[in-house]
Chains A and B, each alone.
Chain A
Amino acid sequence: MILKPRTLIDKLWEAHSVADLGDGVSLLHIDRIFLHERSGAVALRSLKAAGRTVCRPALAFATIDHIVDTETGRGDHTKFSGGSEFIRAMRNGAGDFGITFFDINDARQGITHVVAAEQGIALPGATMVCGDSHTCTLGGLGALAWGVGSSGIEQALATQTVEERRPQSMRIRCDGRLTADVFAKDLVLSLIGQFGASGGAGFAIEFTGSAVRALPIEARMTLCNMAVEFAGFTGIVAPDDQTIQYVQGRPYAPQGALWEQAIKYWHGLASDDDALFDRDLVVNVSSLAPQVTWGTSPQHVVSTDGAVPDPGAAATGLTDPAQRLSMEAALRYMDLTPGTRMGSIPIDAAFIGSCTNARLSDLREAAAVLRGRKVAPGVTALCVPGSTEVKRAAENEGLDRVFKDAGFEWRESGCSLCFFVGGDNFGGARRVISTTNRNFEGRQGPGVRSHLASPATVAASATLGRIGSVRDLNTP
């Protein structure tokens, strides 16, 4: 019998399909569950109220990231008035159900997706859900990982399954190689810009090609992190030797004979050469320039040396009236006019953080720009490491000094100002350049205008006091 060639996603889906529920819907086995205090606390409380139990607590992990403050000396009390209730409900719920919990002062605390990789909880080929849309980050390790709501978490905890409709398959092959001053963030922003924020709707996306292979694992996580901003079910990069090196020796990674068995399996995890994808996209990235968003959707993106587009111009190619309305609303919200050079837009604040861009390599890239430079007068600048472990590692190599000397505030780990939860804010700053993933209206605070970019571009902009990339900097 000749087996039908399969994609990597096909293989992982089929290996985890407990039952076919008809018309492409499968009941999928979930190998790892991660909770945070925002959606996890609600899920555990609801589970308890329904008198249900956690099926396999050893496969569930929890931490505190979404609401917790990030200033030194933080605790259960938060600037957001309801915050401590979420934190305590998470802690108590984890205790009640025997879920491994990395509390606020635990050395393993951090943003769930950063921690899941760092601790070896997410593994190549494993399925994982978290009550957070950026769970797709872990596709960078070759995991089949996606976000679910609180009820999805409840179901995963109670049954070790979630049902999902099988997505169509998309392959995005990135040929060429990124230049040294262009990063995974620029790549993913430009993909969303080219193919639209709903370009990946209904698809699971496999990123392939020489430019993706050349990306270090942390950069692959940045790439996959924004698959959800592309409306994808998830993103994935097939595991390779780099992945295996990354996973080896991490606290929850397999060891000994099981490790040998695992890597043998992981080496075989790839789409078959002749597998057919429902959609195939090919881009060449060699001439890609640093990117920055101008509007209120990640698809509203141009290069840092570009200009704000005109929704009325034929060049935008808009055929959908709803799209045009969105662009016009974005211009109003962002207080920008078509034709304005991105490099002429002054900024009030710079934020380096989030599950997109706050791993050690991100902080190194920003620090390389900041070394010997100062944040421009009047700019509020914040760096929030992605995990307590990232913070410790960064401090070990003196990066905290670089940030602080440049004029950045150096914080404790958490999601922080990736979104405004009601407490912490940018102190009146209106226009923020940010390494995060969403530039939605009000996302980072009431009336706050967000421009998304890579850590290097955010650092460069912080020193320039306006939007700009490393290409705009003079030698310090």
Chain B
Amino acid sequence: MQPFTILRAPAAPLMRSDIDTDAIIPSREMTQVGKTGLGSRLFANWRYIDVHQKREERAEFVLNQAPYRHAQVLLAGENFGCGSSREGAVWALHDFGIRCIIAPSFGSIFRANCLRNGLLPIILESTTVEKIAQQMEVSNGSASIVIDLIACTVTDADGTNYPFSIPPQQREMLLRGLDSIGLAINRLPEINLFHENLNRQQPWLFAGHLKD
């Protein structure tokens, strides 16, 4: 996975609350048993006119506008990524080029999926997210913000710094581009000991058909 350290980029404002993963990628857009090639399907219902046939770009949708066509940062309202657990939502964002999403809150499964794919979900106060969105709009998308995962700060277009928090293990994963599955596999001896102990305490959990 690509490590995330410091990113300076414009931030595309998509300032609605409760943007669900069905909006991020409709179920029907995930047609392959795989994780790749979903970028063109990101926000399909909002991004295209006549989504089932011609698929022409809808000019007013933010990611179709010149400064944001290759956006790496997204600003959104609260509860971004609520709804379905579909990891396709994160794969589509990633494939489009989004590396970081800033919102007042996130759907919890979506947030976990971001971390597993090298995307940085940042929680800032809604007034701060609104302020950054306004800076982007006033500058017609020419402003940039700086996201610094080493210092855990966001610097807005006016140079104001906002600290954000992220658990150290999750920060480390993103900074080094680590894969959480590989890390957990390294702990298998410890996990197996734990399993045996749990089996002694709650033997009904792993009996009968459920025995190894």
Contacts and interface: CB of A to CB of B under 8 A. Distances in A.
Nearest to B198: A29
B188 interface: yes
A438 B204 contact: no
Given A152-B116, A325-B16, A419-B27, A201 B79 contact: yes
A146 B83 CA distance: 13
Contacts of A326: 16-18, 77
A158 B181 CA distance: 8
Contact of B169 (A39, A86, A163, A323): A163
B198 to A, nearest CB: 6
Nearest to A18: B194
B184 A158 contact: yes
Given A438-B22, A441-B22, A325 B185 contact: no
A204 B135 CA distance: 36
A125 B202 CA distance: 10
A440 interface: yes
Given A18-B190, A149-B87, A149-B90, A442 B35 contact: no
Interface string B166-178: 0111100000000
B181 A52 contact: yes
Contacts of B17: 198, 320, 322-323, 325-326
Contacts of A133: 83-85, 109
A329 to B, nearest CB: 7
Interface stretch (A40-48, A334-342, A467-475): A40-48
A59 interface: yes
Contacts of B15: 321-322, 325
B181 A151 contact: yes
A421 interface: yes
A252 B210 contact: yes
B191 A160 contact: yes
A438 B51 CA distance: 21
A27 interface: yes
B206 interface: yes
Interface string B184-210: 110110110011001001111111111
Given A148-B109, A323-B17, A420-B28, A158 B35 contact: no
Given A23-B168, A158-B184, A329 B16 contact: yes
Contacts of B198: 15-16, 29, 31
Contacts of B202: 15, 125, 262, 265
A48 B145 CA distance: 40
B78 A21 contact: no
A22 B167 contact: yes
Contacts, number: 231
A197 B180 contact: no
B62 interface: no
Contacts of B93: none
B32 A85 contact: yes
A25 B191 contact: no
Given A151-B116, A158-B185, A161-B191, A438 B78 contact: no
A319 B20 CA distance: 21
B86 A259 contact: no
A320 to B, nearest CB: 6
Given A148-B112, A198-B18, A19 B190 contact: yes
B194 to A, nearest CB: 5
A59 B169 contact: no
A323 B180 CA distance: 35
Given A419-B84, A420-B26, 20 more contacts: A25-B167, A42-B87, A45-B34, A55-B191, A56-B212, A58-B209, A80-B28, A86-B33, A149-B112, A160-B191, A163-B180, A201-B79, A201-B106, A202-B105, A202-B108, A254-B204, A326-B17, A326-B18, A420-B28, A443-B22
For the complex of A and B, the 6 pairs showing the least CB-CB separation, nearest first, are A322-B77, A422-B28, A149-B87, A254-B204, A198-B79, A23-B167
Interface of B: 15-18, 20, 22-23, 26-28, 30-35, 45, 51-52, 77-79, 82-87, 90, 105-109, 112-113, 116-117, 126, 130, 167-170, 180-181, 184-185, 187-188, 190-191, 194-195, 198, 201-212
Interface of A: 15-16, 18-19, 21-25, 27, 29, 31, 38-39, 41-42, 45-46, 50, 52, 55-56, 58-59, 80-82, 85-86, 89, 100, 123, 125-126, 131-133, 146-152, 154-155, 158-161, 163-165, 167, 197-198, 201-202, 228-229, 231-233, 252, 254-255, 258-259, 261-262, 265, 297, 299, 320-323, 325-326, 329, 419-422, 438, 440-443, 446
20 contacts: A19-B190, A22-B167, A27-B187, A39-B87, A41-B33, A56-B195, A125-B202, A131-B85, A132-B85, A148-B85, A165-B167, A198-B79, A201-B106, A231-B79, A231-B82, A261-B203, A262-B202, A320-B126, A321-B15, A421-B27
